[in-house]
Amino acid sequence: MNLREMELFGTLMRVGTTTETARLLGISQPGVSAQLKRLESRLGLSLFHRTGNRLEPTREANEIFALAAPIFSTHADIRAKLPELRNLASRPVSISATPALVEGFLGPILIRAGFQNWKKRLNLRVHSPEEDLRRGDADIGIQMALPPKAEFQAYPVGRSELVAIMRDSHPLARQDRLFCAAIAEHPLVCYNADWSPMGATIRAAFEAQGLSYDPVCTVPFCANVCDMVRACGGVGIVDSMTVRDYAMQGLVARPIVDIAEIKIIAFHRRNEPLRAPIQDFLTTLLRAA
């Protein structure tokens, strides 16, 4: 018996007539009778005796039905589960990304993934990707300099340079490129290295040069660095995408020679199967890398 024949047989056993079986399965009554006849011929067994308008199962049919009970139960469970699965599959992809990546990286990816003119729905959070994934508020996180973590499956999907920003009147603005040692001589506006992966990356670069990483002002995001440097001076370190997309009036940017590029990382919860739309979006991210 294949599954289609099993469904026909099980329905006949439960309702007892070919007419009702045809209605439930969405086929014709003669079709039910023909399928039953072929099934009995293939099995070499008589499964039902006709009594008036009803079909009475034979002993053999009752034994097969008892053996197949777990299959029928599982089939019923699957049918009951399908509406929930369809609803889950239709939910928009939920992405959590840091502001710099929303402004400078995500747009072209969305277009390649089919979101042009919003042909697909999207739930975008601009917050803390790691926290959003831990709480189940996002399907995919995108952020820079994410260190390896056992709870996340991570993929490098891009790179960005780090640059120093300062007022255009700052002494360092006269130089074409900078080293960490020169930056360390000035008040630094940057990130809390104990909280921010980018801050930890910059601290490691400073310490590799024997320098102390001690920001006078710590902020959460690159745009905040620009705001604070414009307001109060000093030197900030941001990614090159922020410089490209941020209104830099009164500020200039200089490359930093001795800090390596940082990776842009896409990640999701490890050992958790992805819905098809999420997998499709992740595939687009990886192709763009």
The token duo for 175 is: 């130089």
Token reading at 116 = 């042009």
**Position 49: which residue type?**
H
Q: Which two tokens stand for residue 258?
A: 């001795």
State the pLDDT confidence band at 127, using cuts at 50, 70 and 90: confident
Residue with tokens 């940057």: 190
pLDDT digits (tens, 9 = 90+) for 274-288: 999 999 999 999 998
pLDDT for the residue 90? 87
| pLDDT for residue 157 | 95
For residue 203, pLDDT beyond 80: yes
Amino acid 237 reads I
Q: Does residue 144 sit in helix, strand or coil?
A: strand
Instruction: Burial-class residue 193 by CB neighbours within 10 Å (0-12, 13-18, 19+).
Output: buried
- What is the model's pLDDT at position 6? 92
136-180 residue pLDDT tens: 999 999 999 998 999 999 999 999 999 999 999 999 999 999 999
Sign of CA dihedral 107, 148, 217, 219: positive
Mind listing the pLDDT tens digit for each residue in 5-27?
999 999 999 999 999 999 999 99
> Residue 75 — very low, low, confident or very high, per pLDDT cuts 50/70/90?
confident
Name the band, by pLDDT with cuts 50, 70 and 90, for residue 247: confident
* Contact criterion met (CB below 8 Å) for 275 and 91: yes
The CA-CA-CA angle for residues 40, 80, 281, to 5°, reads: 115
The pLDDT value recorded for residue 76 is 84
> Does 76 or 21 have the greater pLDDT score?
21
The mean per-residue pLDDT over the stretch 230-243 comes to: 95
- What's the full length of the chain, in residues? 289
Q: Which of 203, 142, 178 is nearest to 254 (CA)?
A: 178
How far CA 89 is from CA of 61, 74, 190, 224, in Å, comes to 39, 21, 41, 37
Residues with Cβ < 8 Å from 164, sequence gap 6 or more?
A: 172, 178, 183, 235, 236, 237, 253, 254, 255, 256
CA angle 93, 75, 60 (to 5 degrees): 170
Band (pLDDT 50/70/90 cuts) for residue 183 is very high
Mean pLDDT of the 242-255 span: 88
Cβ-contact 254, 178 below 8 angstroms: yes
Torsion, CA 144, CA 127, CA 85, CA 149, rounded to 10 = 40
Per-residue pLDDT tens digits for 108-123: 999 999 999 999 999 9
- Measured CA to CA, the distance from residue 98 to residue 164 in angstroms comes to 19
Report the C-alpha gap between 60 and 62 in whole angstroms.
5
Residues 51-65, mean pLDDT to the nearest whole number: 92
State the pairing for strand pair 217-218/188-190.
parallel
